[in-house]
Structure 1
Amino acid sequence: MSATSGERRLRADAQRNVERLVDAAREVFAQRGVDVPLDDIARRAGVGNATLYRRFPTRQALLQAVYRDHLEQVGARAQDLLASTAPAEALATWLLELVRDGSSSRGFTATLKTALHGEGADAAWCRSLVHNAAEQLLARAQQTGAVRPDVTAIQLLKLANGIAFSTEHEPDADRQAEQLLSLTLTGLRPT
């Protein structure tokens, strides 16, 4: 996790602690899920729990740190699709990649949920990034008549997150996610 323009630069030892915490959280979330006690993550990282809570005051803040690069890739992917793909196909591709990412990663669906419902400054960048990407792709698809005009970006993201969440522990998660998304996209078309 690197410092952004609005963040103060950390001392080298503090930055190493942050990196160890994020690495440990990534491993623990993948193995045991996102509801693991945060003290277990601090122990795995070899730091005290006060260090964890000072750097990541909420579980959501830690989740977002773990998935920050991934979320930025989600936003960049939307921009790539906007520039190079037909509107309906761009939206469908982006949503499919989003639900596949969520269904294959135990923490990504929780991070997306934070993007939809999170409060406070630690969730604002995540919410803005994901919502803006969905909104741009949706607006473009709606302008061509491929998607009903009454559908909102938040509704789309809730549907995608629901699909990812419901398939994340299935042995054939990708196939199920694709089928459920196909049904959803059919329902989004104008009648």
Structure 2
Amino acid sequence: MACVSRRAAARATFAEQGTDASLREVARRAGVGIGTLYRHFPSREALLEALLGQGFDTLRAQALQSLDAPDPAGALVSWLRRLAIASTRYEGLPASVMEALRDPDSRLHASCEGLRAAAADLLARAQRSGQVRRDLNAGELPATTNAVAWAARQTAGSAELVDRYLSLLVDGLMAGEVEATG
């Protein structure tokens, strides 16, 4: 079997069972032995990195492209939405990302750090514009966005629910008085 088949099997397994799914199940779906899977992906983190790395690179590139957008806060919010929706792809993904951010030895750490750095640049630009509160730090963005993704995944995981939760979060990000709604 080609490596693409192992990745496809991992995507399908993680989509159905979450990032804690059995690697034996991934190997079974790929039609290979567990040893073959481990030769290509020596750990769960290595497999997740192979599945998520390209998506993380795309998100990072989108953030960098958004640094020239005319509306800094709008660019930040749009990017956070893409990040939150991507984080709902697999059950357990937000927790895996947060764990990778805390563990510099994780295979996912570099990809996650790239996302955090891109988020920091978008946040700093929006803060300099006066649109986003200054007391927010870049480390809080992935945590709160992952919380939105986790909450959406627990209920329905739809893009509409991510938008709703994210709009509630964004109200707290913006500078100035937050109006109470009722």
TM class, shorter-length: 0.7 to 0.9
- 2:44 pairs, out of 50, 59, 62, with 59
Equivalent residues of 2:6, 2:37 under 8 A apart? yes
Report the alpha carbon displacement of residue 29 of structure 1 after superposing the two structures with TM. 0.9
- The question of 1:89 aligning with 2:74 is answered yes
- Percent identical among aligned pairs is 35
Alignment of 1:123-138 (within 5 A): 123-138=108-123
Match of 1:49 in 2: 34
Aligned to 2:9: 24
> Displacement, 1:97?
1.4
Indicate conservation of the 8 Å contact 2:14/2:21, yes or no. yes
Where structure 2 has 5 or more consecutive residues not aligned to the other structure, the ranges are 177-182
Q: 1:149 aligns with which of 118, 131, 134?
A: 134
Query: 1:25 is aligned with what amino acid?
Result: A
Residue 48 of structure 1 aligns with an amino acid whose one-letter code is G
* Aligned residue pairs, count: 176
Across the aligned residues of Structure 1 and Structure 2, the Cα RMSD in angstroms comes to 2.2
Q: Which moved more, 1:156-165 or 1:76-85?
A: 76-85
CA contact (8 A) 1:63 1:107 kept: no
1:33 aligned onto 2:18: yes
For residue 28 of structure 1, report the CA deviation from its aligned partner. 1.0
TM-aligned CA deviation for residue 164 of structure 1: 0.3
Q: Give the aligned partner of residue 184 of structure 1.
A: 169
**TM-score, normalized by length of structure 2?**
0.85
TM-score, length basis structure 1: 0.81
1:104, distance to aligned residue in structure 2 (A): 4.6
Question: Which AA in structure 2 matches 1:148?
Answer: R
Q: 1:162 aligns with which of 123, 147, 156?
A: 147
